[in-house]
Amino acid sequence: MSIDTAPRATPRNGVDIPTLFATLDAVRAAPAAAHFQFRATNQWVEGTHSRSTISDFFGVGEERAHAREFVFQADHPAVLVGHDNGPTPVEFVLHALASCLTAGIANIASARGVTLTEVRSTVTGDIDLNGILGLQDVRNGYQQVAIRFTISADAPEDVLREIVQQSRRRSAVYDVITHGVPVDIEVEVA
């Protein structure tokens, strides 16, 4: 999730640039339109297996819904005492990071008049499970995350590198997972 404010260009890369800039103009005129709330509901299935549903959100002043409801499973693999009904929760964090930076790259490239042929990435997260196992005093989460992009486009290497940097500077997920965010937990016993 990242867009840019460079000079206007014709639509490319599947990005509707006129609408992108019209959205920017609309939010500039009414900044509260940019206040969004995203949501997921989760239901435990059994063991480490649960299922989340993502359907509605709030934005541009009103309740909205995705075109359809999205449902995702999460679980642990057998080696982590689960049944592998879905990726682990920490793997979804990697998908979130790669997809956020990639969407930004496409939007920014389009705004700068660059036509992309391919954007691929591999993202890795190293984790020492002695933390969550309570066996050693190491952090519970990833110790480091690395993402490597391969990009083909009709622009010189320095232009493409700067597009990736601008995507990083405007990425919501990059911000969350590099800087952290306060999380409030409430429990209701039914």
Return the residue of 10, 63, 67, 137 that touches a second copy, per CB under 8 A.
Answer: 67
Type of residue at 119: V
User: Closest Cα partner for 174 from 186, 166, 162?
Assistant: 166
Query: Which member of 7, 9, 70, 154 binds a second copy (CB under 8 A)?
Result: 70
Looking at residue 175, the DSSP 8-state letter turns out to be: H
Among 8, 46, 115, 154, binds a second copy (CB under 8 A): 46
Q: How far apart are CA 16 and CA 160, in angstroms?
A: 20
- CA 49, CA 46: separation in Å to the nearest integer? 5
What part of residues 114-153 is at the interface with a second copy (CB under 8 A)? Answer: 116, 118-136, 139-152
Number of residues that bind a second copy (CB under 8 A): 136
171 binds a second copy (CB under 8 A): yes
Could you give the CA distance from residue 20 to residue 8 in angstroms, rounded to a whole number? Answer: 10
- Least separation in angstroms between residue 155's CB and a second copy is 9
Residue 44 sits in the site that holds a second copy (CB under 8 A): yes
In the complex, minimum distance from the CB of residue 74 to a second copy, in angstroms, rounded to a whole number: 3
Least distance to a second copy from the beta carbon of 10, Å?
Answer: 14
Count of C-beta atoms within a 10 Å radius of residue 149:
17
Nearest to 121 by CA among 152, 90, 144: 152
Minimum distance from CB of 129 to a second copy (Å)? 4
Write out the binding residues for a second copy, residues 73-92 only, by CB under 8 A: 74-82, 84, 86-92
Least separation in angstroms between residue 21's CB and a second copy is: 10
Of 95, 97, 100, 92, which Cα lies nearest the Cα of 73? Answer: 92
Residue 2 makes contact with a second copy by CB under 8 A: yes
